[in-house]
Amino acid sequence: MPIKWSALRVNEAMDMAEEFINQAAEPLEQAKLVAIEARNIANLPGYVDQHIASLKWDIERSLERLKSDIASVRKSLPDGAVEAERESARQGNQLALV
């Protein structure tokens, strides 16, 4: 049974989202390095260190989670649907005789 929505468009949207996430990854990695350095500040109170450690962890976890979410969307697409739509688009739109 054919799907009524476009797996190709969903896949392309995930490509775009992934590209934006990749662009954001470097600044987030820099922020994580700053947080790591901030934990080395002399006489830093434990409660401040705890918040900085949480910030570092949140940055790491956010990037992992975003990439995992995109992978989950892609895995949920029906097998072969993206390729079938690409092939159909290459051949032009034709009416299916069912």
Where does the pLDDT of residue 89 fall: very low under 50, low under 70, confident under 90, or very high at 90 and above? confident
Helices (H), 1-98: 7-38, 46-76, 81-91
Let me know if residue 2 belongs to a domain. Answer: no
Please give the Cα distance from 56 to 80 (Å, whole number).
Answer: 39
Let me know if residue 69 belongs to a domain. Answer: yes
Average pLDDT value for residue range 71-93: 90
Let me know if residue 15 belongs to a domain. Answer: yes
Higher pLDDT, 92 or 58: 58
Let me know if residue 96 belongs to a domain. Answer: no
Let me know if residue 55 belongs to a domain. Answer: yes
pLDDT of residue 94 exceeding 70, the answer is no
pLDDT in tens, 9-62: 999 999 999 999 999 999 999 999 999 999 999 999 999 999 999 999 999 999
pTM of the model: 0.76
Let me know if residue 97 belongs to a domain. Answer: no
Let me know if residue 26 belongs to a domain. Answer: yes
Please give the Cα distance from 16 to 72 (Å, whole number).
Answer: 15
Domain count, the chain: 1
To which residue do tokens 């993206």 refer? 82
- Domain extent, residue 33, equals 7-91
Q: Kindly list the distances between the CA atom of residue 30 and the CA atoms of 16, 36, 59, in Å, as whole numbers in the listed order.
A: 23, 10, 10
Let me know if residue 98 belongs to a domain. Answer: no
